[in-house]
Amino acid sequence: MPPPITIEALDDPRVADYQRIADHQHMLDRGLFIAEGRLVVRRLLDLRHWNIDSILLTPAAADNLSDVLPLSNAPIYLVAQALMNAIAGFNIHRGCLALAHRPTVAPLDRVADGPLSRVLLLEGVNNPDNVGGLFRTAAAFGADLVVMGPSCGDPLYRKAIRTSMGATLAVPYVTASQWPGAITDLRADGFTVAALTPQHQAVPLHDVSRHAKLALVVGAEGDGLSEAALAAATFRVRIPMTPLVDSLNVTTAASIAMYHCWQE
């Protein structure tokens, strides 16, 4: 681990990117993403496979992370809390940020025939809270892969990472270059694909049996899954509920389905 470098000026060029952490397009253009908070940065370091650009810490945060900081050779910048807040433009109350390089995300067709048995597919899920929540639940129930279909949000957007408690850093994900061809590809590779929908004609979740290779596909709140995605699935499945509610939040619905279908 290189010795920490103390930063004392707001205009120090070594922390210039940290002044743009709220600018998602800047992060994309720079090929970077931001990890925020001690738990998330700890996860980033623990996973070891991420290419970390630098770490910005207050002395208190550096003490808290002293056991994992040696896992990276990235520069470590120490700043006072007030200067960190000035650099970021808002209160970083946990005193901990890290910049890491974005990986090249593979398309589904490169991994679909791998040793997968639990796959979650997303269509049109662009709210970062929902993206993060879905990754967190996918991690909890042992998903092997998340497939990002059309119009989905960025799993490495800082709010999605934070909401997922770092799960977007741990659960592998790929893009779907063809849609709903990704669903067809998974079925061709031996997957049963269940599409979640509130439609009354769908199979009740409690009637869904265990499958050796099962993929669940969920859509955005409001519009739900497209007719093309529903038609491409093996079958449609619904979560029975009272007439007082017509649907559930996508993260809640997916969590219930993953628990039922993938619990050990």
pLDDT exceeds cutoff 80 at 7:
yes
Task: Tell me the CATH number for domain 108-262.
Answer: 3.40.1280.10
- Report the range of poorest mean pLDDT among 22-31, 113-122, 124-133, 224-233: 113-122
Q: Domain 5-101 is of which CATH architecture?
A: 2-Layer Sandwich (3.30)
How many Cβ atoms are within 10 Å of 152's Cβ, its own excluded?
A: 23
| Ranges of H-type helices in 4-115 | 24-30, 38-47, 59-64, 81-88
Q: Cβ(203)–Cβ(239) under 8 Å?
A: no
The CA-CA-CA angle for residues 182, 186, 188, to 5°, reads: 115
Q: Summarize pLDDT for 206-221 with one digit per residue, the tens.
A: 999 889 999 999 999 8
pLDDT of res. 88: 94
Q: Greatest CA span in the chain, whole angstroms? A: 64
Q: What percent of the chain has a predicted confidence (pLDDT) above 70?
A: 97
Which single residue is written with the structure tokens 């992370």?
65
Domain range annotation of the chain:
5-101, 108-262
Give the CA count within 13 Å in the CB-facing half-sphere of 170. 23
CA distance 133 to 168: 9
pTM over 0.85: yes
pLDDT exceeds cutoff 90 at 122:
yes
β-bridge mates for residue 96, sequence order = 57
Average pLDDT, the chain: 94
pLDDT of res. 263: 82
What lies within 8 Å, CB to CB, of 108 at 6+ separation is: 147, 174, 175, 176, 177, 182, 185, 186
- The torsion region of residue 89 among left (phi > 0), alpha (psi -120 to 50) and beta comes to left
pLDDT of res. 264: 64
